[in-house]
A = this chain, B = another copy of it.
Amino acid sequence: MKVSIKDIARAAGVSHSTVSRALSDSPLIKEETKARIRRLAREMGYSPDAGARGLVVGRTQTIGVVVTTIADPFVAEVVQGIESTAYEHAYTLILATSNDEPDREIAAVETLRSKRVDAVIVTSSRVGALYSDLLERTGVPVVLLNNHAERGTYSYSVRVDDVHGARTATEHLLALGHRRIAHVMGPAGHTPSDDRLHGYLQALREAGIDPDPALVVPGNGRPNGGERALHQLWSLAQRPSAVFCYNDMTAIGLLRAAREMGVAVPGDLAVVGFDDIPFASYTSPSLTTIAQPKFELGQRAARMALALISRHGTDGEEVTNVVLPGQLVIRESSGVSR
């Protein structure tokens, strides 16, 4: 049923090593025999066994991708970018989902290690460091996406400049004349959360505004976090006139709450998000946001992983961390027209 290189050898009356060479187009083999063998292989429905090959060559042509959940539009687009360049280089993706649960993070690392992936790309995990530690001593290159960590021998990162993006968002609101600008934070203990908060504070201070702690409220990166945040903000004696949300999901939840509460956006409250997920342009009002080059982030991460793989041992070309800028996309929710 399953046809191997030996079956072909038998049928062709040659040795199995000749078949192996012919199939990998070795210059050692006579064109004539090559052709014959290739035809035979096709006819017999031969498919090379990647596992067996990996065993001997020491590479699996496989990249492990760890995400918290693929059901996050941001993550999905990043993975799309990874896949596209992996595909171009004949690499395959193994997907592992962590759900942000420590057990599953560990399990994911173990599995990927066992599958002997040539590299690992970790997207927006809270514990990128975990991977670096566990995998680095294995010698598996690790690329952290949107999660900086100490730079190790094998661990690199590609990310968007969160601080700068947050500043840009905040400056946009400042330029529109807002003085009481709130911020809904992201999930606690997440580097991007910290950085965006940081950028927000920086922009305020540079504008000579003393940040009001009451205007910085917790969130979780999901819609319900945004909803809760608006309730909290609206119960303040001194309400904000604008809010910069950790991400678009948060902003979308906040937008919905605003609708329910009769808070006019951008009239009563200008809103800016972060990420530019596909739906940002379909909300009502459409969402002003900082666009992350999601697909490109994925591409860069994949390219970096490939570079690290080929560099492996030979330590040739230098690989450096990548930081991409986010871009302000102005839509209705910040009410530029006001």
Contact = CB atoms under 8 A, between A and B. Distances in A.
A16 interface: no
Given A92-B94, A111-B92, A60 B70 contact: no
Interface in A111-154: 111, 113-116, 137-139
B51 A60 contact: yes
B70 A79 contact: yes
Contacts of A104: 87
A95 to B, nearest CB: 5
A79 to B, nearest CB: 5
A256 B278 CA distance: 13
Size category, A interface? 35 or more
Interface stretch (A21-29, A41-49, A233-241): A41-49
Contacts of A175: none
A149 to B, nearest CB: 21
A116 B259 contact: no
A77 interface: yes
B95 A95 contact: yes
A216 to B, nearest CB: 24
Contacts of A70: 70, 76, 79-80, 83
Interface stretch (A157-165, A194-202, A279-287, A299-307): A279-287
Nearest to A282: B252
Nearest to A277: B279
Interface string A236-271: 000000000000000011011001000000000000
B97 A87 contact: yes
Contacts of A55: 49, 51-52, 55
Contacts of A273: none
Contacts of A51: 50-52, 54-55, 60, 115-116
A225 interface: no
Nearest to A90: B111
A91 to B, nearest CB: 10
Contacts of A255: 282, 284
13 contacts: A45-B137, A47-B113, A47-B138, A51-B51, A51-B115, A70-B70, A70-B79, A70-B83, A71-B73, A73-B76, A92-B115, A253-B282, A256-B281
